[in-house]
């Protein structure tokens, strides 16, 4: 997995579609869903690790961007 889009496609395979309208909230909800899939043994550890790292990195970038905008 290299992008957030890849994560969305993985979630889509399980019938999970996420759009709240707040990008940071979307990323946090995606992280929770990935965690649930991993806990249920539906995705591989490698998929879990790369997805969590991508989501957390993207969320951190957005939070930093918001702080600079204030």
Compute the average pLDDT of residues 9-24: 96
* Cα dihedral 55/60/61/63 (nearest 10): 120
Regarding predicted confidence, which is higher, 3 or 69?
A: 3
pLDDT exceeding 90 applies to what percent of the chain?
94
Residue 70's pLDDT is what? 66
pTM, two decimals, is: 0.92
Q: Predicted confidence band at 69 (pLDDT cuts at 50, 70, 90)?
A: confident
* Most distant CA atoms of the chain, gap in Å: 41
- Residue of 38, 30, 29 lying closest to 11 (CA atoms): 30
């Amino acid at each position: 997995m290299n992008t957030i889009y890849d994560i969305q496609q993985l979630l889509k395979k399980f019938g999970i579609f996420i759009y709240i309208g707040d990008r940071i909230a979307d990323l946090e909800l995606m992280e929770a869903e990935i965690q649930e899939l991993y806990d249920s043994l539906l995705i591989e550890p490698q998929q879990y690790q790369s997805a969590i790292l991508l989501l957390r990195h993207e969320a951190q970038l957005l939070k930093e961007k918001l702080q600079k905008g204030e």
